[in-house]
Amino acid sequence: MDRMLVVVFDNENKAYEGKKALLQLDGEGSISLYGYAVVAKNADGTTTVKQDDYGPLGTLAGTVVGSLIGLLGGPVGVAIGATAGLTIGATADLNNARIGLDFIDELAKVLLPNRFAVIAEIEEDWTTPVDDRMEAIGGTVFRRALSDVKQTIHDEHIAAMKADIAQMKAEHAQARADRKAKLHEKINQLDAKLQAQLQKSKEQRQTADRQAQAKVEILKAKAKAAAAKSGA
């Protein structure tokens, strides 16, 4: 099962030990580690990425881990959780991260200033291997299954803009001459936004498809390596 894994540590050295343990578990075949980031929670509430590796999945910004880091106070500086309220951008990040708001709130209570975390996207069949290694280092483990990729937010925005354009065009057809020019300008502006939203939605679908294919190739390579090792 594909999961978002977050392990919180009291200091930076332990966080790097946690990252090393995940790489070892991946090498042993206990998990598949698709990508990770080691992050620090700063005193001002922002999050700094200390180290990351996403290999064939692409850049950190285009991954579910990147979205989660943003929600936890990263570069976009969004509000955390229901108590602070989510902006439109934060809601989009939540959709891209493919996890629930309650998971963000749970992490926010533990990933406090001057603490560190390893945030990873993994595939695991059993939770015990990761839990045993991380607890031995002193890490607190949080995990959540990743939901299917959704386009709900983009689809809703696109539908709303199409409805507005249709209404404005109907109004334009019956408008006075002095109103037609203003309505025409508004229609053009909204259409430009619609085209940008359509392009963004297309790019996100392409990114999701590319990452899914990269995961398949990672698993195939691991299976081939395991077969070669057993046959040696």
Give yes or no: residues 30 and 112 share one domain.
yes
pLDDT of residue 147: 63
Give yes or no: residues 27 and 133 share one domain.
yes
Give yes or no: residues 113 and 158 share one domain.
no
Give yes or no: residues 157 and 129 share one domain.
no
Distances, alpha carbon 214 to alpha carbons 31, 34, 57, 164, in Å: 16, 9, 6, 39
More confident residue, 94 or 139: 139
More confident residue, 68 or 227: 68
Give yes or no: residues 103 and 21 share one domain.
yes
Looking at 122, 145, 168, which one is the last position of a domain? 145
Least confident interval from 38-52, 67-81, 126-140, 214-228: 67-81
pLDDT of residue 119: 94
The whole domain housing 120 covers 2-145
Q: Answer yes or no: pTM beyond 0.85.
A: no
Give yes or no: residues 202 and 177 share one domain.
yes
Give yes or no: residues 191 and 127 share one domain.
no
pLDDT reading at 153 higher than 70: no
Mark 137-168 as b/e (b = at least 16 C-beta within 10 Å): bebbbbbbebeebeeebbeebbeebeebbeeb
Give the residue carrying structure tokens 């700094």.
48
Give yes or no: residues 9 and 89 share one domain.
yes
